[in-house]
Structure 1
């Protein structure tokens, strides 16, 4: 046996991108190359291949402007990112206990959503003192996100710290002054952005000297993300908010560099894993460019970035899947180099999370850090042709949207004039269509639903979103799964009232082997709407099928089987079913050129992949008498 190494690496000539493209075009057999591209929100698309010709390794190392690779030279390798959970429970005592438990068991920072009905109701310093009773202020970053009185929490915090003997120099976190965010939530009649920034200017200046660990201003994307903005719009509008604060405080005598050093950013991370990594990297890049263009020094261009797992991606149905969603979103935030991360509990859509939900969320980050060692590498995404190019693509798209907002007069004007609401309406319509047709599937809701799942019992705290009295109604937070969950809720009410769920008789054609694949698919489709499938192994002829239907106790029949049997058997079977009282007969699969004949025979609707499943199931609910 030869001891000489095989020269495999040099035995074949290196293929070029052009060689690869010729082979791909040959295999596509006339289909366009674009058929291999995957569309993303914001008009972007993923390519099937990325090479060094597309994007190279960034020339700047981590810790150097424009901070694409992170704001610290060693990343978070020395201690990890900050595990900073968010709290919004309306009950002060319950939230106080949650803070104590989390900080004792791995939490490192706290993010407090303030003001009822959106968060913890802290009316004075005494209430804040109770809330922070178990929080060691000298070593725990505390972040506020108020909704109404934006300046009051800072006063309360200083009073609590002074009483506890903690100096301002020791305090860390952010005070959450975010008038644009409040404007988006409450409406123009309740928030004056310019006046709020003018009042905040002395605080911004004093904190830079007296409490350098505290950031006065918050730039949060929560309002956009929770209302369904695309990732590009969320990033662009967040940057536009930062620009608004730079200008507003400069008018009040604060330099752009000082203002930038006083800002805390907070972005939501959704379900598109790699694009979300690229978006957070693009956020640091673009903010560095904004501050540099405003005259800020390189050290003031570094973005303090908090990442939270998105609310819109979570579901009430089969909420255990939320654990997987939150894990993937947290993973993306960490790989993107977020300074602090908040992982939402799986039961958050059901009400105030309980101790188990918070524990699982907290431990998700601890496992990512301490067992998976994700903090051991600075900028693990760096150098990936795919992610570097995607970072650049998202940055360019967001910059174009930022320029559009600037042309309208800035983000405040875009809000007041209704431009943001218009874009969100269009975006939500497009996303609703993708969800309803299952082009954007939701596991446990629109895909693989568990019709008989036992509900997770939670102590619900109804928190209705407040609506402002401004010129334009603020965007309503929503979750992507809401349309289908409304059908499941209706099914539950029907079951509670009548003792049975709405049901469909499955008229399966052919042998078991012939109809099983399609009938299984249809059973899952019906379950998405809370409709129980009454399965049968088949029948000898149309008359026998109709007799089985007559005993089923439902008025809905779904014909399912191989396409080859449809032209001959569907018309006769429909007639037989309707003669036995079938009010609605549906056929599984696309009808093709048989649609006119089937409808003439009495078929009411067709269930197939790509159809507006929500509307079809809603129609079936109406015909089954489900309120």
Structure 2
């Protein structure tokens, strides 16, 4: 008979947090705990090296079940399924329909029809665009800039004409005049006209409860270099602005809130992005409750006992569409983008997103094709069919680390949200420049972090592909931040940019220069101490390869004279002396005298004798504290590369 109630841990006495700290401090051997192990995040809080049960004691939401207020654990009770979305650029209705049917057969469950211009979509247009598409089997989304109320009415009419129950069809229309202000500095119409239009869209679509007509594009903050806290706080503030404007126009929050969808970017900070979605649901449910939404649900209401005080809790369910970020994607070593989007997709899935777009790895620099689109689709399909991430509700629940991150993000985002509210709400805060100032401050911080390699972009500022050359000709302004500012802008808009742009601009200049001349060559003059010369040669090879230079590494030279002769024979433009600090005192001046103006001499490292070497005319040093971007720009300038 099997034994019961066996205590498997009886031989392992409990260990207190203080005991853990004492052990850690002993292992650190005098190093400062805060400096060595505590992570200082861009989000305004520190991440500790370990968390324990006691870190969860003050988290009031931990007893909430999945599908219940405040929805930290997700909107669903039974599973973690999400819609797999792919967007289609609509220039021809018949062609768009054909592509939609094709990708639906390849695993897509959500279609995004991107309709440029101000073309009004009529019921007859929808008959062509949505022909043979089962509206109950796929989520339908429209990205338009035209009359939203008219489109909502046409879509409801089309749905009803085809015999579908309006309650069983999931759809959205991406209408977000506040994001127009954010990107262009001005809305297309006056405040009164704009929010009257929003009201008309909400009221027109009221009977179709699963049709959202307001989409808050928080992803724009993400792609402008904001922190996770800023993206979340400003997105929530935009949502609160819509609710305030609509309730003032007489629309109850119980009708307005379910019409809002949040489009959030998902970056490479794996656990933070996961926790962001959980924190977002927590805060949005509290914000909506403050507007005292009336229950407009039917017999399928999920509020259960929570509606007793007259507030419809399920109106505060945050509907989130996640899209992989552009900010951390790269032109060089572009296939690495697949790895980035895979971890981002995992963050969104584990965080409980409602739908997701994985952008193809090349979507931002060339027209996507069947290969890149197929890979992007399959990344989500694999997460469902092989990893089964759609089967378990809120897999991160109970994790000391994830719960602590959720709480910290929620706390910091709430503080920033309240700052926006104190300035009169999102509209007033943006027009006063508060929002832009915060985003720009963080963007500048992240630019610097990329420049000094504190924030890594594999293949660009770390471990570049030495042999890669640009295969595409890019326009003059491709590597510049994107400004969509319009004439007559009433506020300075935010600029979208990628963290890799400045490095890529520099490397592309090298590639262009090499076509007309020859590729600059960096030669490693390795000598002396075996360990130090190999380590410094490896570091320096990566350093100069970032700029697209041809790198020549060497096993070692018997003398400086032999090394310099080999460098000159190789037509080196830059000669990097790689040795130990002690040996630089002798080797540095020797190399300088032999090289003179034939090439640029660089010392690998920051030796104690640096001042002595500088006094003898040696000016160039590269080491881990060097600002990589500025240094390489300077070398490009010296080599005549613009």
TM-score if structure 1 supplies the norm length? 0.91
Structure 1 gaps, min length 5: none
Q: What is the alpha-carbon distance in structure 1 between the residues aligned to residue 473 and residue 399 of structure 2?
A: 43
Q: What is the alpha-carbon distance in structure 2 between the residues aligned to residue 555 and residue 22 of structure 1?
A: 53
Residue 176 of structure 2 is aligned with which of 175, 178, 192?
Answer: 178
The Cα of 1:391 is off from its aligned counterpart by 0.4
> CA offsets, 1:266-312, max 9 Å, x none?
21111011111111000000000101111131111111111111111
For the 8 Å contact 2:152–2:204, the answer to whether it is kept is no
Equivalent position of 1:517 in the other structure: 535
Q: What is the alpha-carbon distance in structure 1 between the residues aligned to residue 46 and residue 268 of structure 2?
A: 16
Residue 206 of structure 2 is aligned to residue 202 of structure 1: no
Residue 359 of structure 1 is aligned with which of 369, 374, 379?
Answer: 374
The Cα of 1:226 is off from its aligned counterpart by 1.3
Q: What is the alpha-carbon distance in structure 2 between the residues aligned to residue 311 and residue 517 of structure 1?
A: 34
Equivalent position of 1:43 in the other structure: 44
Equivalent position of 2:301 in the other structure: none
Residue 472 of structure 1 is aligned with which of 455, 472, 491?
Answer: 491
Q: How does 1:63-142 map to 2 (within 5 A)?
A: 63-76=67-80, 80-87=81-88, 97-115=98-116, 122=119, 124-125=121-122, 131-133=129-131, 135-142=133-140
The Cα of 1:359 is off from its aligned counterpart by 0.5
For the 8 Å contact 1:189–1:468, the answer to whether it is kept is no
Q: What is the alpha-carbon distance in structure 1 between the residues aligned to residue 625 and residue 634 of structure 2?
A: 17
The Cα of 1:453 is off from its aligned counterpart by 2.7
Equivalent position of 1:298 in the other structure: 313
> CA offsets, 1:387-434, max 9 Å, x none?
111100000000000001111111111221222221222111100111
For the 8 Å contact 1:345–1:361, the answer to whether it is kept is yes
SS at match of 2:56: coil
For the 8 Å contact 2:220–2:265, the answer to whether it is kept is no
Equivalent position of 1:55 in the other structure: 56
For the 8 Å contact 2:152–2:201, the answer to whether it is kept is no
User: Residues 316, 135 of structure 1: CA spacing in aligned structure 2 closer, same or farther, 3 A cutoff?
Assistant: farther
The Cα of 1:546 is off from its aligned counterpart by 2.9
User: Residues 7, 398 of structure 1: CA spacing in aligned structure 2 closer, same or farther, 3 A cutoff?
Assistant: closer
Q: How does 1:13-52 map to 2 (within 5 A)?
A: 13-35=13-35, 36-52=37-53
Count of residue pairs brought into register by the alignment? 612
Q: What is the alpha-carbon distance in structure 1 between the residues aligned to residue 465 and residue 91 of structure 2?
A: 31
Equivalent position of 2:306 in the other structure: none
Larger deviation, residues 168-177 vs 521-530:
168-177
Q: What is the alpha-carbon distance in structure 1 between the residues aligned to residue 77 and residue 524 of structure 2?
A: 63
User: Residues 6, 401 of structure 1: CA spacing in aligned structure 2 closer, same or farther, 3 A cutoff?
Assistant: closer
The Cα of 1:38 is off from its aligned counterpart by 1.2
For the 8 Å contact 1:150–1:179, the answer to whether it is kept is no
User: Residues 212, 7 of structure 1: CA spacing in aligned structure 2 closer, same or farther, 3 A cutoff?
Assistant: closer
For the 8 Å contact 2:329–2:500, the answer to whether it is kept is yes
For the 8 Å contact 1:66–1:285, the answer to whether it is kept is yes
Larger deviation, residues 552-561 vs 342-351:
552-561
The Cα of 1:442 is off from its aligned counterpart by 0.8
Equivalent position of 1:283 in the other structure: 280
User: Residues 97, 364 of structure 1: CA spacing in aligned structure 2 closer, same or farther, 3 A cutoff?
Assistant: same
Residue 559 of structure 2 is aligned with which of 537, 541, 544?
Answer: 541
User: Residues 208, 128 of structure 1: CA spacing in aligned structure 2 closer, same or farther, 3 A cutoff?
Assistant: closer
- RMSD (Å) for aligned C-alpha atoms: 2.8
Equivalent position of 1:565 in the other structure: 583
For the 8 Å contact 1:282–1:392, the answer to whether it is kept is yes
For the 8 Å contact 1:308–1:341, the answer to whether it is kept is yes
SS at match of 1:43: coil
Structure 2 gaps, min length 5: 294-311
Residue 509 of structure 2 is aligned to residue 481 of structure 1: no
SS at match of 1:42: coil
Q: What is the alpha-carbon distance in structure 2 between the residues aligned to residue 97 and residue 577 of structure 1?
A: 66
Q: What is the alpha-carbon distance in structure 1 between the residues aligned to residue 342 and residue 326 of structure 2?
A: 13
User: Residues 131, 548 of structure 1: CA spacing in aligned structure 2 closer, same or farther, 3 A cutoff?
Assistant: farther
The Cα of 1:131 is off from its aligned counterpart by 4.9
The Cα of 1:189 is off from its aligned counterpart by 5.5
Q: What is the alpha-carbon distance in structure 2 between the residues aligned to residue 514 and residue 146 of structure 1?
A: 59
The Cα of 1:457 is off from its aligned counterpart by 6.6
SS at match of 1:559: strand
Equivalent position of 1:10 in the other structure: 10
For the 8 Å contact 2:527–2:560, the answer to whether it is kept is no
Residue 269 of structure 2 is aligned to residue 272 of structure 1: yes
